[in-house]
Structure 1
Amino acid sequence: MNRAPGVEDPLQFALALGLGCDRGTPAATIYQAISEALAVCGGQPSDVRAVGSIDLKADEAGLLQVAREQAWYIHFYPAADLAAVDVPNPSETVRRYTGSPSVSEAAALLVAGADKADLIVEKHKLRGPDGRNATISIARIYP
């Protein structure tokens, strides 16, 4: 977990989620991945103030269901915008499929305001019982 110097409690700040998933990933798998990632940093869904993903997922049923049920607006970014963000865990596999070396980490930083955010959960991955993958990254948003 990356923390700013002198900051012990990440939840004195709002959280931003970056979401990535396989095509056809059910909402249950995405919910589980989010829940696990939030548990890593001691967060709750109510701490989430911003959510981002890649524009390729703008029609992803499971992702849209989670956002609707949580009353979260998802900002969808083009691959070029995500690719311009420096992330700790780029992936050539992700680049091959999306055009960006990062979806979840880059989206979390972009939607949080990259100049005033840091990642506190890097690429939390879950392969659901359905065989589909979800990846969640969480950035802390500074005031």
Structure 2
Amino acid sequence: MIRVIALTPAGKELAQRLRTFWPDSALDYKPKPFAEQVQRAFEQGESLIFICATGIVMRTLAPVIQNKRQDPPVLVLDEEGKFVIPLLSGHEGGANEWGSQVAQTLGAQLVVTTAKPYLNPVYTLGMGCERGCPLAFLESLMLEALDQNDLTPSDINSLSSIDIKADEVNLIALAEKYDWVFHTFSADQLSTMEAFLSSRSEYVYNTVGVYGVAESAALFAAHNVTGSEPELMLNKIKNAKATCAIGRSFP
């Protein structure tokens, strides 16, 4: 469900113009009570187009924003229809792509503030584990990680770990089962990702020389593919015998 919200007569005219292209959308002109109506639509998962000041939108939605994988896409337009800003859920929620469609429809300028939004991301898995970790522990944790991010094994570019795991039988087996390349990297290489880690373990550092194997490996692998700055799509999760993280970068 698309809902267009306008606060001025000029904004209403633009909203009506938009609805000729999205006839199933709803138009709210000066909804009252404003915050209650808008927050309810957002919490119900409606895709929202605001024709008003960005500050109004942020102050209104701030109490109900959850996270970028759960929140619906939100666009903000000026009342003249010159600019389209994907404000929330740019990558995961599709606001960037939707904003591009709206901008092309109106002949407007798309204003994107997220990183390289239209390039296909590279997803990488990083894993650490106890020596001799059973395949079932690795596989179940990996599938949980993918499920949390609506990914499938075919979305993954590679599986990576630290070089002391180069002969870890079931990491190799997991990569072979899902047709992934298995990479391992040295502690010196992985340490270059320290600034991007979500947390740091002194125990892991004292054991293998990096503050986190799964996150470091996922990040370094993502950077290695594209050469661009990587990010964690999923911070490290773990079970009794293994850890897993997902890295992402854009070409």
Which interval holds the TM-score relative to the shorter structure? 0.7 to 0.9
Tell me the residue number matched to 1:69. Answer: 177
CA–CA separation in structure 1 for the residues paired with 2:182 and 2:231: 19
Cα displacement (A) at 1:57 = 0.3
Change (3 A) 1:109 1:69: same
Task: Confirm or deny that 1:8 pairs with 2:92.
Answer: yes
8 Å Cα contact 1:52/1:74 also seen in 2: yes
Cα displacement (A) at 1:117 = 2.6
Task: Confirm or deny that 1:110 pairs with 2:223.
Answer: no
Aligned pair partner of 2:238 in 115, 120, 125:
125
- Secondary structure at the aligned position of 1:59 is classed as coil
8 Å Cα contact 1:26/1:61 also seen in 2: no
8 Å Cα contact 2:228/2:249 also seen in 1: no
One-letter amino acid matched to 1:14 = V
TM-score (norm: length of structure 2): 0.50
Percentage identity across paired residues of the two chains: 35
8 Å Cα contact 2:162/2:185 also seen in 1: yes
- Secondary structure at the aligned position of 1:115 is classed as coil
Alpha-carbon RMSD: 2.2
4+ residue segments displaced more than 6 Å? 1-5
Tell me the residue number matched to 2:148. Answer: 40
- Secondary structure at the aligned position of 1:108 is classed as helix
Tell me which moved more, 84-93 or 18-27: 84-93
Q: Per-residue displacement from partner, 1:31-58 (whole Å, max 9, x unpaired)?
A: 0010011111111111101221100100
Tell me the residue number matched to 1:130. Answer: none
Q: Per-residue displacement from partner, 1:39-93 (whole Å, max 9, x unpaired)?
A: 1111111110122110010011111111111111111101111122121211111
Cα displacement (A) at 1:140 = 2.1
Could you say which structure has the greater relative contact order, defined with CA pairs below 8 angstroms and 6 or more residues apart?
A: 1
8 Å Cα contact 1:120/1:139 also seen in 2: yes
Cα displacement (A) at 1:9 = 4.5
Consecutive unaligned residues in structure 2, runs of 5 or more:
1-66, 70-87, 95-119
- Secondary structure at the aligned position of 2:243 is classed as strand
The count of aligned residue pairs is: 137
8 Å Cα contact 1:2/1:119 also seen in 2: no
Tell me the residue number matched to 2:211. Answer: 101
Tell me the residue number matched to 1:90. Answer: 200
CA–CA separation in structure 2 for the residues paired with 1:16 and 1:103: 13
Q: Within 5 Å, which residues of 2 pair with 1:24-35?
A: 24-35=132-143
Change (3 A) 1:106 1:9: farther
8 Å Cα contact 2:187/2:209 also seen in 1: yes
Name which one, 1 or 2, has greater alpha-carbon Rg.
2
